[in-house]
Amino acid sequence: MGYASTRSVALIGVTAHVVDIEADAAPSDAGLHLVGLPETSVWPARARIRAAITNSGTAWPDARITVGVSPVIPPVYDAAADLALAVAVLAAAGVIPPERITGRVFLGELALDGGIRPVRGVLPMVQAAVRAGISRVVVPAECAREAAQVPGAVVMPVTQLADVVDQLRHGTLRDHHDQEPESEFALSSSFAVDLADVPGNQAARRALEVCAAGGHHLFLSGDGPATMLAERLPGILPPLTDEAARQVAEIYSLAGRLHRAPGLTPPLSAPHHSQTPAAIFGSVAANRPGVVSLAHRGVLHLADAPEFTRPVLDGLCRPLDSGQVHLAGLGRTVRYPARFTLVVDARPCPCLERRECACTPEARRRYRARLALLLPRVAVRAPIEQSNRGTRAGEPSEAVAARVLTARVRAAHRLADTPWRTNAEIPALDLRTRFPVAPEAAELLLSAVNTGLVTADGLARLLRVAWTLADLRGVDRPQFDDAAGALELWKGADDDGAR
């Protein structure tokens, strides 16, 4: 009978923290007592651990086993600490030398037959372990490649609890030696989809370029190829920085979709209007991010936006303002990163038969009214229309991306000593004090406020777009033409859209 300790990692959203796991075996009636797990998880975890140990060929210790977890694991327990709990039990009972489980982090869910199942979020969990000074991590074999992406991590893949016990009893766990990950953060040199495929729609193409250069949100109105345009926006955005790519990879890891992470290419999420708010924003109960967070540092496209439910449309306002999704439930609050470029498109009316449309003006008004809270946060608007077959193809994505990158470099140089990365992130106060526009530009925009064309919040968005237009033109600060261009992009199409 004795004492043993090891470590695992718990997740709250995408934030991981290392937890200490202690086990004590005392002479008494055989039993397992877990302290520090959510109340609803104690019995399932105890059943899994006991079944996995006995089915791995190890007799259950004839002792009273008490296992404590500190700090207390949050209300959602995803079974990632199962393996750590099991080895702590066996070490306290003397089956495994206790000194051989210290200095390691154990991750993995136990199956009843002793198998070790993969868990979501291995990437942020291993990163948390390395930051805490623990480089040796034991993970399910299916997660080894993911864990090996963390610099400084010594990964030990395992598949069965019996193998873990055998290796720790007679030696040590074998390290994971594999070839370098297949360019998880590689940048493709070609454009999978190209703007040259979208003929005509010059206004929409220009709006797309402005949004890419400044990080602004976009509203496309009409019956044209909105999806084609939205799908090509990531291709003209600058590649992600290494830090942004790691953030995106952590989110995809937590969602269990790291194999679909875009690397250095900005991600694109395009949810269907039938998806639930939990699928859109994420779930506290499952500790899983939604498609909004999967668009972090990339593009979120809402096709036929008025078809989405009001809770979804109105719920998007907070991520647009804060760059985060805030979810509350089960006695805690979870935050998922969600800073993206929003592309919203809408038909003029709910009718699909445009040639024989019988929608009344009131029906059209109600249809667009569903976007009442969302549209004021969208700084750039443009009409789209069905392109004629004879329309000449537009510029390729590569040419547009070069101009966007040049504008982004100018903005980055101007914002070098600030926490902001794009013009769209600059607060209104700093727009007025630190980054003033030319007097004639300011006068034009103020007249738009005085005439009721835009609100005070709208003025700040116009100023941000004006700065982006100035960056695209290569001038030091917005002039009258840039302010006029921002107003034109703000007005966009009329309520009926382009037919």
DSSP for 181-243 reads: PS-TT---SS-SS-GGGS-S-HHHHHHHHHHHHHT--EEEEESS-HHHHHHHHHHHSPPPPHH
At 289 the pLDDT is 95
CB-count burial class (<10 Å; 0-12, 13-18, 19+) for 288: buried
CA 347, 350, 356, 358 torsion: positive or negative?
negative
CA–CA gap between residue 338 and residue 295 (Å, rounded): 7
CA 155, 47, 67, 25 torsion: positive or negative?
negative
Q: Domain boundaries in the chain?
A: 3-170, 195-491
Helix, coil or strand: residue 107: coil
At 182 the pLDDT is 44
Q: Nearest-5° angle of CA 163, CA 165, CA 169?
A: 120
Please name the helix (run of DSSP H) or strand (run of DSSP E) that holds residue 489, with its range, or none.
Answer: helix 480-491
Domains 3-170 and 195-491 share a fold: no
pTM: 0.88
At the second CATH level, the architecture of 195-491 is 3-Layer(aba) Sandwich (3.40)
- pLDDT tens, N- to C-terminus, the chain (499 residues): 789 999 999 998 899 999 999 999 998 888 899 999 888 888 999 999 999 999 999 999 989 999 999 998 877 778 999 999 999 999 999 999 999 999 999 999 999 999 999 999 999 999 999 999 999 999 999 999 999 999 999 999 999 999 999 999 887 776 655 444 444 444 443 457 899 988 888 999 999 999 999 999 999 998 888 999 999 999 999 999 999 999 999 999 999 998 888 888 999 999 999 999 999 999 988 889 999 999 999 999 999 999 999 999 999 999 999 999 999 887 778 899 999 999 999 988 887 666 677 788 888 888 889 999 999 999 999 999 876 555 666 789 999 999 999 999 999 999 999 999 999 999 999 999 999 999 999 999 999 999 988 888 899 999 999 999 999 999 999 999 999 999 999 987 544 433 2
At 183 the pLDDT is 41
Which CATH number is 3-170 given? 3.30.230.10
Task: Give backbone dihedrals phi and psi of 383, rounded to 5 degrees, phi first.
Answer: -80, 150
At 353 the pLDDT is 61
